[in-house]
Amino acid sequence: MKNRIRSLVGAAAVSSMMLVGAAAQAAEDTIKVGILHSLSGTMAISETTLKDAMLMLIDEQNKKGGVLGKKLEAVVVDPASDWPLFAEKARELISVDKVDVVFGCWTSVSRKSVLPVFEELNSILFYPVQYEGEESQRNVFYTGAAPNQQAIPAVDYLADAEGVERWVLAGTDYVYPRTTNKILETYLLDKGVAPEDIMINYTPFGHSDWQTIVSDIKTFGSAGKKTAVVSTINGDANVPFYKELANQGIKAEDIPVVAFSVGEEELAGLDTAPLVGHLAAWNYFMAIDTPENVDFIAKWKAFIGNDKRVTNDPMEAHYIGFNMWVKAVEAAGTTSADSVIDSLVGVAVPNLTGGYSAMMPNHHITKPVLIGEIQADGQFDTVWRTPGLVPGDAWSDFLPGSKDLISDWRKPMSCGNFNTATGKCGGA
């Protein structure tokens, strides 16, 4: 008897887990929106803000009467910066909580992890962060920047406006910096930069001792040619990096650093007075003076109840993505994934920088590219912006593997990786 009881305890524990699933089937009078952002672990630092931003957007929409006459209901889960858990939670959101759309993910690996889930269960994911490109999936809408919407304009600006001839490509060793730096390297070599004028450096996640690398950059930068650093250093490692730059006295006038992952939120943890003039390339800055943005910031501060909180580019991406989804659902008259996916392409909504962003057939959006200089108050001052909107390019033209690929999810092509050289749709 004793034996049997013991072994049944395990079985019962597992079965009870299933009941969690069964119990969660709630009434159908709301439209559910899943929010899949880490609230604990290493990525909580960036992602928690996005969860709050989503809650605010949903709140605002409900005040306007919801969508299709129904209220929106947010379903928040915590994937805890654990990549397999992202897949599990995505599955839970779609098949247990029955959400109609998910807004979430920050790192590339979390997106890669949930991608098969969205494909299998045919749901919709809005991904709000700048990323390395080389992807276009039917169920995913990329509202962050592709490399051609961030990296390449930034390099052009440095070369033209600042006369930079020597480049340090410094990044954290993961896919986004690797790919971005590959693209930039090819681009720079094509522009006639000599190979010895490009220095590439990779560091581990959370790297905190930057003494050697900063002094290497200093040495590399004193070879007589104007030098700039293109930084794809990831969130956490940035604060010690900038502190070391400031302390070793690297001024923006001498060696400017242009970053693609440093926004208002990251600068909030830093004294920016010694960093004035270093640059960042984004599609949105909090300091942009448009009525939409002023309104958005006011609502955000009121919602979060803190006058000092800042807004940043991924928040704007969620703002755009959410409004696109609302518009597409209203156009389609239903929340069913297939109809919404079809009606999303071509939807245009106002962005916060004084224009309209449109969803393109490759599921990326059109955005302006802004170059800003860091100010003493932790904000960015826009020193340059593209004259028009730049469409996101899913497949970079500067990588040998992807230069023949295009993506178009409209019928009849309906393909994320169409090879123009062979005339065939690439993978599955």
Partner 1 sequence: MISKFILRGLDGRLTAFLIAALAYVVLIAIGNLFIPEGSFLHVPTYAVSLMGKYLCYALLALSVDLVWGFAGVLSLGHGAFFALGGYAMGMYLMRQIGTRGVYADPTLPDFMVFLNYKELPWFWYGFDMFWFAAIMVVLAPATLAFVFGWLAFRSRVTGVYLSIITQAMTFALLLAFFRNDMGFGGNNGLTDFKDILGFDIQSDGTRMGLFAASALALCLGLIICKAVVASKLGKVLVAVRDAESRTRFLGYRVEHYKLFVWTLSAALAGIAGALYVPQVGIINPGEFAPANSIEMVIWVAVGGRGTLYGPILGAILVNGAKTYFTGAIPEIWLFALGALFVGVTLFLPKGVLGLYGMLRQRFEKTRAPRETKRTADPVSQPSEAE
Partner 2 sequence: MKAFIRFSIALLSLFFILGTSQGMAAEDPALKEKISALAEGSYSDRAQAIQSVAATGDDRAVPALEALGEGLLFIVKSDKSVVIGLDEGATVETFDPVTGDSLGSVPSGAVDKIKVNNRLRREIRSALGALTLLSDDPKVRLAAAGAIFKSKDSDSIELLDTAIAKETVESVKLAMQEARAAAVLNSSRDMAEKQAAVALMADRGNQSALAVLLNAKGSAEGPLLVDIDNAIAAIEKSLAIWDLAQNAWYGVSLGSVLLLAAIGLAITFGVMGVINMAHGEMVMLGAYTTFVVQDIIRTSMPGIFDYSLLIALPLAFLVSGIVGIIIERGVIRWLYGRPLETLLATWGIALLLQQTVRSIFGPTNREVGTPDFLAGAFKLGELTITYNRLAIVIFSLLVLAVLMLVLRKTSFGLRMRAVTQNRRMANSMGIKTNWVDAMTFGLGSGIAGIAGVALSQIDNVSPNLGQSYIIDSFLVVVFGGVGNLWGTLVGAMTLGVANKFLEPFAGAVLGKIILLVFIILFIQKRPRGMFALKGRAVES
End-to-end CA distance of the chain: 53
Binder to partner 2 among 66, 240, 350, 355 (CB under 8 A)? 240
Of the candidates 296, 285, 328, the residue with the CA atom closest to the CA atom of residue 141: 328
Q: Which does 252 bind (CB under 5 to 8 A by kind): partner 1, partner 2, none?
A: partner 2
> What are φ and ψ of residue 166, in 5° steps?
-130, 135
CB atoms within 10 A of CB 185: 17
Q: Is 10 in the site for partner 1 (CB under 8 A)?
A: yes
Q: Is 173 in the site for partner 2 (CB under 8 A)?
A: yes
Residue 135 and residue 399 in contact, taking contact as beta carbons nearer than 8 Å = no
**Sign of the C-alpha dihedral, residues 303, 376, 146, 348?**
positive
Among 101-109, 111-119, 350-358, 371-379, the segment contacting partner 2 (CB under 8 A): 371-379
Q: Is 173 in the site for partner 1 (CB under 8 A)?
A: yes
- DSSP secondary structure string, 314-360? HHHHHHHHHHHHHHHHHHHTS--HHHHHHHHTT-EEE-TTSSEEEB-
- DSSP secondary structure string, 407-426? EE-STTT-EEEEETTTTEE-
- DSSP secondary structure string, 15-53? HHHHHHHHHT---SSEEEEEEE--SSSTTHHHHHHHHHH
Residue placing its CB nearer to partner 1 in the complex, 202 or 303:
202
Q: Is 212 in the site for partner 2 (CB under 8 A)?
A: yes
Residue placing its CB nearer to partner 1 in the complex, 65 or 204:
204
Of the candidates 251, 253, 258, 114, the residue with the CA atom closest to the CA atom of residue 180: 258
CA distance 275 to 374: 7
Q: Is 27 in the site for partner 1 (CB under 8 A)?
A: no
- Give every CB contact of residue 22 below 8 A, 6+ residues apart in sequence: none
Q: Which does 412 bind (CB under 5 to 8 A by kind): partner 2, partner 1, none?
A: none
Q: Is 70 in the site for partner 2 (CB under 8 A)?
A: no
Among 34-42, 65-73, 82-90, 349-357, the segment contacting partner 2 (CB under 8 A): 34-42
CA distance 45 to 360: 31
Q: Is 256 in the site for partner 2 (CB under 8 A)?
A: yes
Q: Is 8 in the site for partner 1 (CB under 8 A)?
A: yes
Residues 38-97 that bind partner 1 (CB under 8 A): 39-40, 76-80, 82-85, 87-89, 91-92, 95-97
Residue 398 and residue 183 in contact, taking contact as beta carbons nearer than 8 Å = yes
Residue placing its CB nearer to partner 1 in the complex, 174 or 384:
174
Contact positions vs partner 1 (CB under 8 A): 2-4, 6-11, 13-14, 16-18, 20-22, 39-40, 76-80, 82-85, 87-89, 91-92, 95-97, 107-109, 112-113, 115-117, 120, 134-135, 173-175, 178-179, 182, 202, 204-205, 399-402, 405, 416-417, 419, 424, 426-428
Contact positions vs partner 2 (CB under 8 A): 39-42, 44-45, 48-49, 161-163, 173, 201-204, 206-209, 211-213, 215-216, 218-219, 222-225, 236, 239-240, 243-244, 246-249, 252-254, 256, 265-266, 268-271, 273-274, 276-277, 279, 373, 375-377, 381, 383-384
